[in-house]
Amino acid sequence: MQRVRVVRRPLSDYIRLEFDWGYPDNIAAGEDIRILELTGEDQLPFVPDADRGYDFWCFDGLTVVRLEYDGAGRFVQPVDVSHHAQQFIACQDYARRRAVPFSDYRATIF
């Protein structure tokens, strides 16, 4: 399993909690977690606002589910966006190529 976490500074308390509490155990269990930090007006290409307000998961190269959150960060609903799978997969590939391993990124912030 692979994950790319897209972040912007300043990191929220929730992201810091993920970094301290969740990710080390996931990595120990074999997950490849990478971090892509966006700065300024940087945005992920191919999918409008992919780095703001929702996550997405790509399964099997065909199925894509977008997880939407409200302004307070509470989960709202999953949305099947498989009809746009190629755009989301291109965005995922872009992020994966530019992301750094979690341990490398974490060393720059703590």
Q: What total of structural domains would you count in the chain?
A: 1
**67 within 8 A of 75, measured Cβ to Cβ:** yes
36-59 pLDDT, tens digit each: 999 988 888 888 776 666 789 999
Domain range holding 98?
Answer: 2-109
61-70 pLDDT, tens digit each: 899 999 888 8
Mean pLDDT across the stretch 96-110?
Answer: 94
d(CA 74, CA 87): 25
Sorted by sequence, the CB contacts under 8 Å of residue 23 that are 6+ apart come out as: 33, 102
Tally DSSP H helices, then E strands, for the chain: 4, 6
pLDDT over threshold 90, residue 4: yes
Q: Which residue has the higher pLDDT, 62 or 73?
A: 62
What residues form DSSP beta bridges with 34? 4, 101
In the numeric block, which tokens belong to residue 32? 């490849």
pLDDT over threshold 70, residue 32: yes
